[in-house]
């Protein structure tokens, strides 16, 4: 893997930077922590940064503070799905990460899987169940016969394992689908794959070292990600050099297939101990808390948190050909 060149812009070149954090999604609390960490780093670096929570009159705050660019640390709905990206683009304010269309695509797990299938990127077998469908035992038994008895159920458009369940009976599957429908009109049902989970962080077209995760919980859920002190992370992840290279290439190709750019994270699960890597999902605004995976991967590459923040902020310059700087 190549070495990322160190950011070389002066703090003044970034102008007034708005760190967008919080929001109204189910991932608000994580976003507040991520945003605070990013804001603290920018201040220490001498960048003129402010925090803005979109629930507090976003338009007025951006205009009043004469914001030059935005560092998006909004997870989930309205922040990671193209909504705020489109709003910023309308205001001609450059922003970090993926553009409007690719952010929207990446947030939709069903569309992602369909795209990856078209470009021959392996993913677990799945079906989608809409809220308008009749969820009776006949439908449930058909799903089980197609995908197996042990299944994962998740909302199509949520992150951080919000609304996600692991099930092993028909009754549990019905409950899990109804639970996922509390967060989205569609629920994704996937075959269980019994292997290790891996994640690859991406910064400006380069892959960072992969991380493998282990939790004593039933699966890597919201609590395992953000609240548990028993989750273990391994970086190096235990893969051979050739496997590491293979996983990095698939992560970059899958991210690019969605049109994503700037920075993000792609999650995988391995089919057994030495089987193929199956892609789970792509994240265009991953967590930036102390326990988050992107900072861990960057640290393994010798990139401290402040430098990582600048690398991500530099991605906002990539969209300046599309939007004029707001002054």
Whether 168 is catalytic: no
Whether 322 is catalytic: no
In whole angstroms, give the CA distance from residue 102 to residue 300: 28
Write the CB contacts of 191 (distance below 8 Å, at least 6 apart in sequence): 124, 125, 126, 147, 148, 150, 151, 152
Whether 238 is catalytic: no
Whether 201 is catalytic: no
Whether 249 is catalytic: no
Choosing from 23, 201, 226, 315, which is the catalytic residue?
A: 226
In whole angstroms, give the CA distance from residue 111 to residue 8: 37
In whole angstroms, give the CA distance from residue 44 to residue 67: 19
Whether 281 is catalytic: yes
CA–CA–CA angle 221, 200, 148 (5° rounding): 50
Write the CB contacts of 270 (distance below 8 Å, at least 6 apart in sequence): 193, 195, 196, 197, 198, 276, 277, 278
Choosing from 23, 79, 97, 287, which is the catalytic residue?
A: 287
Half-sphere exposure of 239 (CA within 13 A, CB side): 26
Whether 276 is catalytic: no
Whether 77 is catalytic: no
Choosing from 81, 281, 314, 316, which is the catalytic residue?
A: 281
Choosing from 25, 160, 186, 316, which is the catalytic residue?
A: 160
Choosing from 198, 267, 270, 315, which is the catalytic residue?
A: 267
Using only the alpha carbons of the chain, give its radius of gyration.
20
Choosing from 210, 237, 283, 315, which is the catalytic residue?
A: 283
Choosing from 158, 265, 292, 315, which is the catalytic residue?
A: 265
Catalytic site residues? Answer: 27, 160, 226, 265, 267, 281, 283, 287
């Amino acid at each position: 893997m190549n070495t990322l060149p160190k950011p070389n812009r002066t703090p003044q070149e970034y102008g007034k930077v708005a760190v967008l954090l919080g929001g109204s999604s189910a991932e608000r609390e994580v976003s507040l922590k991520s945003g605070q960490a990013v804001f603290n780093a920018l201040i220490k670096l001498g960048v003129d940064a402010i925090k803005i929570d979109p629930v507090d009159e976003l338009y007025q705050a951006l205009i009043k503070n004469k914001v030059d660019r935005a560092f998006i640390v909004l997870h989930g709905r309205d922040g990671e799905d193209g909504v705020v990206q489109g709003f910023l683009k309308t205001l001609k304010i450059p922003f970090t990460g993926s553009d409007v269309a690719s952010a929207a695509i990446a947030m939709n797990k069903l569309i992602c899987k369909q795209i990856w299938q078209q470009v021959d990127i392996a993913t677990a077998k799945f079906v989608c169940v809409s809220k308008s469908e009749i969820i009776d035992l006949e439908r449930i038994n058909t799903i089980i016969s197609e995908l197996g008895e042990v299944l994962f159920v998740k909302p199509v458009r949520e992150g951080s394992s919000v609304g996600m369940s692991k099930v092993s009976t028909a009754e549990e599957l019905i409950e899990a689908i109804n639970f996922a429908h509390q967060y989205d009109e569609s629920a994704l049902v996937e075959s269980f794959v019994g292997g290790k989970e891996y994640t690859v962080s991406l910064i400006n077209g380069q892959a960072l070292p992969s991380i493998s995760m282990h939790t004593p919980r039933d699966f890597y859920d919201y609590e395992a990600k953000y609240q548990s002190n028993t989750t273990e992370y391994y970086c190096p992840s235990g893969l051979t050099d050739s496997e590491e290279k293979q996983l990095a290439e698939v992560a970059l190709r899958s991210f690019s297939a969605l049109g994503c750019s700037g920075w993000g994270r792609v999650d995988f699960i391995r089919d057994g101990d030495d089987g193929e890597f199956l892609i789970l999902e792509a994240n265009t605004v991953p967590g930036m808390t102390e326990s988050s995976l992107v900072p861990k991967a960057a640290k393994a590459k010798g990139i401290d948190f402040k430098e990582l923040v600048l690398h991500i902020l530099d991605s906002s310059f990539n969209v300046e050909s599309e939007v004029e700087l707001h002054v």
